Structure 1
Amino acid sequence: MSSASQDYRLNDELLGPVLATLNAYQDPYLKQGLVDAGCVTKLAMNGTQLQLGLVYPYPCETQYRDTVMTLTQALAKIDGIDEVEAEMDFKVKSYSATGNIPPIPNVKQVIAVASGKGGVGKSTTSVNLALALAAEGANVGILDADIYGPSVPMMLGVTDFRPLSPDGKYMTCANAHGISAQSIGFLLTDDQAAVWRGPMAAGALLQLVNESLWQDLDYLVIDLPPGTGDIQLTLSQKVPVSGAVIVTTPQDIALADAQKGISMFEKVNIPVLGVVENMSFYLCPECGHKEYPFGSDGGARIAQRYNVPLLGALPLNGNIRENMDQGIPTVVADADGEVAAIYRDIARKVAASLALQQQQSTVSIAISEEE
């Protein structure tokens, strides 16, 4: 993975050891050394101080401090370096797995969140994933594509929002907890229902995608309705999706439906970035004992069968539901808690996986051109 630009101002005596040390540090999400991953953009000396610039291809701001500490300790062992000054940033590049579909204006990457059946926590995952990506520094939007049962407005606490159209063509988005949001729920009153046939619902999805005023998003998370119907098919054919996340629970019936979702994305050549298992276990607050009321390791088995990663396993936790009902999702309500940490880890895995998908796509194109 090559970086956009490199500015190396070290003599040969220092350059070799510094690059070797930086490449020996394996980024836990890219699974590559920092040099091979193209993250090292600046190297210079100011006396005995090494000035280091790193630009990651995915957002990971909450990891900066620990990374700098680890690198500083390693680099300070090199003769001639007494201290390290590090500047860290990230840059998300535009990428779509479906190259023949025009990009969405102001949106770099699109993440579809899907499930084979309802009731597995797909919308909860979508909202917390979007907020976790934002917590890592990204500009994020979420699109509620569940036309028949939109829940994102309530989960984000913006049920009173109504879009405006400054130019009569594009709609404004809601802003909640630092992310942009759009939903058919913003256009319906509380007692209205979207009673539409499949093609009408699919058309509404495209309008929400293409006629919303998205503002310079690194990621647009799309919360799909359950199943593998018209809306999912329209998404794969008309929306420049970068990758998909599958949500399931450990029960056999949920796993069977999750397999259908994975199979659907494979057939339309959209990479499945991994599986999230909700309601994975119950942790007793009194004694700390773990129970598995819905079975165990189901998500891991599905992930292994389809050769995709298990992105994370979320506990059966009443606070998650309560936070969503109150319009303050867990990543915001308990930002330093264990559940929020799991969602942030999932977000970093998803974003890094997309960066690697883009890297492989670029390498493939380069090889084809040489041939």
Structure 2
Amino acid sequence: MRDAVLSALSTVNDPELHRDLVSLGMIEQVQIEAGAVHVKVNLTTPACPLKGQIESDVRAAVLTVPGVQTVNVTFGATVRAAVMALPGVKHVVLVGSGKGGVGKSSVAVNLAAALARDGARVGLLDADVYGPSVAHMMGQGAARVSANAERKMQPIEAHGLRFLSMANLSPAGQALVWRGPMLHSAVQQFIKDAAWGELDYLIVDLPPGTGDVQLSLTQTVQVTGAVIVTTPQAVALIDAARAVDMFRKASVPVLGVIENMSYFVAPDTGITYDLFGRGGSRQLGEYPLLGEIPLEVALREDADAGTPAVLAHPQAPASVALAQAARRLAGQISVRAEHRALADLPGQLTVV
């Protein structure tokens, strides 16, 4: 029966990688006892957006094997990377926009929190040196960054992830009047002189625009890709297109677009209003639309209160949309990693 089970599993494709689970090394374990079969699938990310479909397909395939009466499917997850972005860090993902005021930092914080909630090891870097807001959104505005025994910056831990922000290094309310070389030095320290530890994803909240910090990051670290945050408004889309062009010139793949403040649903009537237009993000090109995030009061209130909305109010429509966007982003990262080093993907199979 063992060979028959493996043969059946080889007909099941990962919906995003478009290759079968056996050749991808995703079948971690098969146990057979009488007519009961247990299959453990090792996903390429704990935030897999199509986990339910994989489970259904595995169960259906194995049930076609003569003699199989029941199928139990469980999951593990190992985020894969063709090239480590940093020692211990598998993927660096930049969250950028062409202009301020589109909710980029709020989106970055909630993407990071959603990935961590799903079981990934996540870091969050607030690279908006002039206007850091991540510390406040994480409820750690008064915390101070310390150094470890190796004299490296120790990221602050909150809500299941690690983060660094200039707000936790400089006095509250103090403006930083720095030129380009000082910004470059700060980015270098945040990246290379911080004890990030073992991370699956390091999410970087960029400052608005296409300036020194963006260039420093793309020249300092192996970036997996970028997420563009925009509103559907034409003015925002013009600047978002500039951000896309900047990443193209820096050879940074755009993993997808998130349309923030996409629409507003009046809580008293349920009527939907497209306050800034809707669907304009599709004008940015053939990039995956990771999510359309509605404008909600709770999203702002949670940010001000210091708890990511995906954790404070996980059932709210904006939180659900952000969590889905995080899983789609994780899927895009897995696809890119598989395309870069398919031949090197590990595969371990234990048959009992």
With the length of structure 2 as denominator, give the TM-score of the two structures. Answer: 0.91
Tell me the equivalent position of 2:185: 203
Could you list the per-position Cα deviations for residues 179-202 of structure 1 after superposition, in whole angstroms to 9, with x for gaps in the alignment? 001011101111311111122112
Asked if 1 retains the 8 angstrom alpha-carbon contact of 2:82 and 2:340, the reply is no
Measure the CA separation in 2 of the matches of 1:47 and 1:115.
Answer: 57
SS at match of 1:109: strand
- The alignment status of 1:59 with 2:42, answered yes or no, reads no
Alpha-carbon displacement from aligned partner over 1:351-370 (angstroms, at most 9, x marks no partner): 1211111222225999xxxx
The alignment status of 1:261 with 2:243, answered yes or no, reads yes
Distance (Å, rounded) in 2 between the aligned partners of 1:152 and 1:315: 21
How far apart are the structure 2 equivalents of 1:149 and 1:287?
37
Q: CA deviation at 1:165?
A: 1.4
CA, structure 1 residues 291+54, in 2 after alignment: closer, same or farther (shift >3 Å)? same
**Aligned ranges for residues 332-343 of structure 1 at < 5 Å?**
332-343=311-322
Residue 312 of structure 2 is aligned to residue 349 of structure 1: no
For residue 165 of structure 2, the aligned residue among 173, 176, 183 is 183
| 1:107 lines up with 2:89 in the alignment | yes
- Write the mapping of 1:296-311 to structure 2, written as runs, cut at 5 A: 296-302=278-284, 305=285, 307-311=286-290
- Counterpart in the other structure of 1:5: none
CA distance in 1, matches of 2:116, 2:82: 18
Does the 8 Å contact 2:9/2:61 carry over to 1? no
Sequence identity of aligned pairs in percent?
Answer: 37
Q: Distance in 2 between matches of 1:62 and 1:93?
A: 16
1:10 counterpart = 2:2:
yes
How many residue pairs get matched? 345
Name 1:369's counterpart in structure 2: none
Asked if 1:235 corresponds to 2:217, the answer is yes
Secondary structure class of the residue paired with 1:255: helix
Distance 2:123 2:167 in 1: 16
Q: Is the 8 A contact 1:57 1:90 kept in 2?
A: yes
Deviation at 1:132, TM superposition (A): 0.8
CA distance in 1, matches of 2:176, 2:300: 25
Unaligned stretches of 5+ residues in structure 1? 1-8, 97-101, 367-371
Change in Cα spacing, 1:224 to 1:205, as seen in structure 2 (3 Å) is same
Q: Does 1:82 align with 2:69?
A: yes
Q: Which moved more, 1:183-192 or 1:52-61?
A: 52-61
Change (3 A) 1:72 1:336: farther
Is the Cα contact below 8 Å between 1:128 and 1:329 reproduced in 2?
yes
CA change 1:163–1:15 in 2 (3 A) is closer
Q: Give 1:192's aligned residue.
A: 174
Moved more, 312-321 or 202-211: 202-211
Is 1:19–2:10 an aligned residue pair?
Answer: yes
Cα deviation per residue 1:98-127 (whole Å; 9 max; x = unaligned)? Answer: xxxx84222111010000000000000100
Paired position in structure 2 for 1:124 = 106
**1 CA distance for matches of 2:154 and 2:77?**
27
1:295 matched residue in structure 2: 277
Consecutive unaligned residues in structure 2, runs of 5 or more: 346-352
SS in 2 for 1:218: strand
What is residue 350 of structure 2 aligned with on the other side? none
Letter of the 1:329 partner, please give it: P
Answer yes or no: is the 8 Å Cα contact 1:61–1:137 preserved in 2: no
| 2:292 paired residue number | 313
Deviations 1:287-323 (A, max 9, x none): 3221111112101222xx2x21111000011111110
CA contact (8 A) 2:82 2:338 kept: no
- Distance in structure 2 (CA, Å) of the matches to 1:50 and 1:199: 60
Relative contact order, CA 8 A, sep 6+: which one is greater? 2
Distance in 2 between the 1:18 and 1:256 partners?
47
1:285 Cα shift? Answer: 1.6
* Shift in alpha-carbon separation, 1:364–1:294, aligned structure 2, 3 A: farther
Query: Which residue of the other structure, out of 346, 353, 360, is the alignment partner of 2:339?
Result: 360
Partner of 1:155: 137
* 2:268 match: 286
Q: Which residue of 2 aligns with 1:6?
A: none
Q: Corresponding residue for 1:4? A: none
Q: What code does the residue aligned with 2:125 have?
A: L
CA spacing shift, 1:263–1:129, aligned 2, 3 Å = same
TM-score by length of 1: 0.86
Q: For residue 331 of structure 1, what is the aligned residue in structure 2? A: 310
Q: What's 1:138 paired with?
A: 120
Deviating more after overlay: 292-301 vs 330-339: 330-339
Q: Does 2:165 match 1:174?
A: no
Q: Structure 1 341/67 Cα, relative in aligned 2: closer, same or farther at 3 Å?
A: farther
- SS for the counterpart of 2:275 is coil
- The offset of 1:15, in angstroms, is 3.7
**What is the rounded CA distance, in whole Å, between the counterparts of 2:240 and 2:205 in structure 1?**
15
